Amino acid sequence: MASPEASLTLAIDAMGGDQGPKEVLEGLALAVEEVPRSAKFLLVGREEEILPHVESSSLLASANLKVLHASEVIAMSEKPVAGIKKKKDSSMARALEFVKDDQADALLSCGNTGCLMAGGAIRLRTLDGVERPALCTIWPGRERYFTLLDAGANPHAKPIHVLQNAILGSNYARVALGLVRPKVGLLTIGTEEGKGNELIHESHEMLKNVHGSVLNYAGLIEGFQIFENVVDVVVCDGFVGNIVLKACESLSKLIGTFLDEELRRNALRKTGALLSKGAFRSLKQRINPEQFGGAPLLGLRKHVIKAHGSSNRNHFCGAIKIALDLMQCDMLGQVVADIAAANEILRPEIFPEHQDA
Amino acid sequence: MASPEASLTLAIDAMGGDQGPKEVLEGLALAVEEVPRSAKFLLVGREEEILPHVESSSLLASANLKVLHASEVIAMSEKPVAGIKKKKDSSMARALEFVKDDQADALLSCGNTGCLMAGGAIRLRTLDGVERPALCTIWPGRERYFTLLDAGANPHAKPIHVLQNAILGSNYARVALGLVRPKVGLLTIGTEEGKGNELIHESHEMLKNVHGSVLNYAGLIEGFQIFENVVDVVVCDGFVGNIVLKACESLSKLIGTFLDEELRRNALRKTGALLSKGAFRSLKQRINPEQFGGAPLLGLRKHVIKAHGSSNRNHFCGAIKIALDLMQCDMLGQVVADIAAANEILRPEIFPEHQDA
C-alpha cells in the first residue's frame, strides 16, 4: 500500500482509445506538470505508435516514463474473459501483469470495459475481505457531483456485496470528491420499509447495522432522488447500475440531439442559438463528468481505472491525476480497515452458525 | 369484453390531480367532441367540487355523463394497500367498485399510483392466465415513441411474468402506437448469451420459444439502446423499470434546469434564448410524452389507466381518448388469446412434471 513517500508508478494501457495513443499521450503531457515529481509512468502498447509521440513532445521527454512494447490490442467487441486470456501480448494484459508484479501501483486503460473488469478480477484479485470488485462512476447532480456503484462489475449481487459496495464507494467519494463523511443511499423503489425486493431488504438491514461506525448510511432512495444530491454515494447491484448508467447516458445524448434539431429548424432559432452558444457548451460540460477521468474498478489489490473510449486529452489528464491521488492517500488501506470493521459488526449475520461461539 | 357496438363507459376518478377536478373536467370537455357518441362517463368524487364545473360547461352539459359522489380523497402520501382498504368512500375506491360491478368498462385516475396498482389488483383481479399486472409507460425515442414495462407494479418478477409483460406490452403498443407487429426487446446488461442474471437467461429462453407465433421478439437490448428505437416494447422487471423510469424523468428535469440556468447567465445568452424559445418549447414537448395520457395498468380484467398527477387538460384529453380506444379494439380479448397461446407453447417449461403426459 502506498504512503506519501512511496513509489507512484502508473501503468497506462496506451491503446484502445477511440482516437488512438496520441490523445492518451497528450493527456499525459498535460498531467506531468501537475503531478508529484516522484510519479513514474509505464506506457504499454505498440512501440511504433507510441514512441513518435513521446519523442516529439518536450513535456513527455522530461517526464519519468518508460515505453513497454505489447504487440496486440484488445478490440471493443471482444468477450471479457476470452479476450483477456487469448491476447496475452495485448497492451491491457501486459499492463495488468506489470501491476500484478508490483512494477506499477495503478493501471489506467480506456480499452474494452468487460475485459478490464475480468482481467482485473482474475489477475489482481480482490483486497482482503472484499468479495467482489465494483465499477464506480461519477455523475452530475443538481448541486454537486455524486458517485454511483456498482455500474456493472457484478450483476449477481448478494447483500454482503451491496454493503461492500457502500464501503468502496464511500472511500472513493472521500478521495475523488473530497468529502469527509459521504452520505450513502441504497437505490430502490419506494422508500417505505418493506418495499423493494429481498436483496434490498437484507442489504438495508446490514447497512443500518454499520451506520455510524463504518459508514454514514442515509437510508433508501428512489430513482427520482438520484440527481437531487440527497446522498453522495448511490449504491445498487451491478445489473441495475449498468442499466441506469447506460439509459441515462443515452437519454442525455438524445436530449442533445433533439435540442440541436429544434435549434436548426428555422433562421430565428438558429440566430438565437448562435447568441447563446456558450450556454450549450457549459450545459454539455456540466452533464458530462468526464473531467473525473472515468470509472475506477474498486475492491482490487491495486488501483484500476477505466477511462471512456471517447475520452479526449483533458479527460485523460483528469484520470491520471485521480490515479495519482488514489495512490497517495492510501485508499486501499482504509478500505481494508473498513471492511474488517464491518465484518466484525456483521459477523453473526454473515456466519450465523458462529453466533453463540 | 367490449366490441365496437358494446357500451363504452369510462369511470373517471376526478380527484387526486395536482390541480384538482377542474383540470380533469376541462380535459373531458376537450375529449367529448372527439370520442364516439356512445361514450358514457361516470365522474367520481366530491359532488360539491365537480358539479359547479360540469354545470358551467356547455360541452360537458351535452355529454352523456353522471356525477357520483365519494366523500374521501386518497392522498399522495398514503400507503398502497392500507390507503385503498381504509378509505372505502374515496373517489378511487368507489370508481374501482363501479368498474368491478360492470357499471363501467375502464377507469382513469391521476391519484396515488401505489394505491391504484394495489386497488386494481385486489378489486379487479387479473385476466385469465395473467399472473401479475404490469404498469406500462410510453417514452420518446430518437425517431418515434416506444413502450417500457413493467414500470413498477411487480418488483418480484419471475420469468413467466417477464414473458407476460412482453405480451401485455405488445398488445398495448398495437393500440396506443398503432404498430402491427411491435418488436420486443428484453432489457439487460451486455447482449452476449450468458450475460445478465438468472431472470434474464430464463426469460430470454421463454421469449425465444414464443417468437414468431405470439410475439415478435428481437432479443436482448442494453440500457444505451432503449432510446434508439431498436425495439418498440422494452421489457424488464418492475424493480429495474421503476428505477430507470424515475432516474430518466429526473435526469430530463435536471438537464432542463441546467439549460435554464445557463441561458440566464448573461444578457447575450438571454437574448439568444428569447429568439429560439420555440425550440425549447418543442424540446419539452418531445421529451415529455404525456400526450399519451399516462400509463395503463395492464393485465387486469378491466382497463385501468394512471394519469400523471401533474397532467394538464390536454394530457387528460389524451388519456380519455386512449381509454376509449382500448375499449373499442378488444385489447383484453387479444391478451387472453395470446397468453393462452404462449402457455400452450411453454407448457413443458412451466409445468415440467407434465412433460411426458
Across the interface, whether the CB atoms of B259 and A279 are under 8 A apart is answered: yes
In the prediction, which pLDDT does A350 show?
A: 65
- Do residue A156 and residue B114 have CB atoms under 8 angstroms apart? no
Q: From residue B170, how far is each of A281, B106, B224 by CA, in Å?
A: 40, 19, 21
Confidence of residue B79 (pLDDT cuts 50, 70, 90): confident
Give me the residue from A240, A251, A257 closest to B248, CB to CB: A251
Instruction: Kindly state whether A286 is in contact with chain B, defined as any CB-CB distance less than 8 angstroms.
Output: yes
Residue of B227, B243, B266 with shortest CB distance to A244? B243
pLDDT reported for residue B196: 83
pLDDT of residue B17 exceeding 60, the answer is yes
Strands across the sheet with A145-149, in order?
A65-69, A39-45, A8-13, A106-109, A303-306, A295-298, A134-140, A145-149, A233-235, A183-188, A216-222
List pLDDT tens digits, range B129-164: 999 999 999 999 999 999 999 999 998 899 999 999
- How would residue A4 be classed by pLDDT, with cut points 50, 70 and 90? very low
Amino acid sitting at position A82 = A
Note the pLDDT of residue B114: 86
Tell me: the pLDDT tens digits for B215-249? 999 999 999 999 999 999 999 999 999 999 999 98
- Work out the end-to-end distance of chain B between its first and last CA atoms, rounded to an integer number of angstroms: 34
Mutant choice from B148, B239, B288 vs A, greatest count of A C-beta within 10 A: B239
Nearest to B224 among A195, A250, A282 (CB): A250
What's the CA gap between B188 and B272, in Å, rounded? 41
Q: Is the pLDDT of residue B36 over 60?
A: yes
- Which of residues 60 through 79 in chain A touch B, CB cutoff 8 A? 79
A14-18, A53-57, A89-93, A325-329: range with highest mean pLDDT: A89-93
Helices B277-287 and B238-263 cross at an angle (nearest 10°) of 170
Q: What is the pLDDT of residue A5?
A: 47
For residue B318, is it left (φ>0), alpha (ψ between -120 and 50) or beta? alpha
Average pLDDT for residues B4-32, to the nearest whole number? 86
The percent helix, strand, coil of chain B (3-state, each to 5) is 50, 20, 30
Mean of the per-residue pLDDT values of chain B: 90
The pLDDT tens digits for A166-209 are 999 999 999 989 999 999 999 999 777 667 889 999 999 999 99
State whether ipTM is beyond 0.85: yes
| Position B262 pLDDT exceeds 90 | yes
Query: 10 Å Cβ neighbour count for A208?
Result: 13
Interchain contact, B276 vs A278, CB within 8 Å: no
Min Cα–Cα distance to chain B from A39, Å:
36
pLDDT at A291: 59
B274 touches chain A (CB under 8 A): yes
SS3 sequence, A129-142?
Answer: CCCCCEEEEEEECC
**A237 upstream amide cis, omega within 30 of 0:** no
**Residue-wise pLDDT tens digits, B267-284:** 999 999 999 999 999 998
The set of cell numbers assigned to A293 is 477521468
Greatest extent of chain A over all pairs of C-alpha atoms, in Å: 79
Is B245 part of the contact surface with chain A (CB cutoff 8 Å)?
yes
**In 10 A of CB B149, how many CB atoms?**
32
Average pLDDT of the segment spanning B300-324: 90
What integer pLDDT is reported at residue A356 of this predicted model? Answer: 46
* Chain A residues touching residue B161 (CB < 8 angstroms): none
pTM given for the model = 0.89
Does position A285 have pLDDT exceeding 90, yes or no? Answer: no
> What would the mean pLDDT of B64-93 be, rounded to a whole number?
90
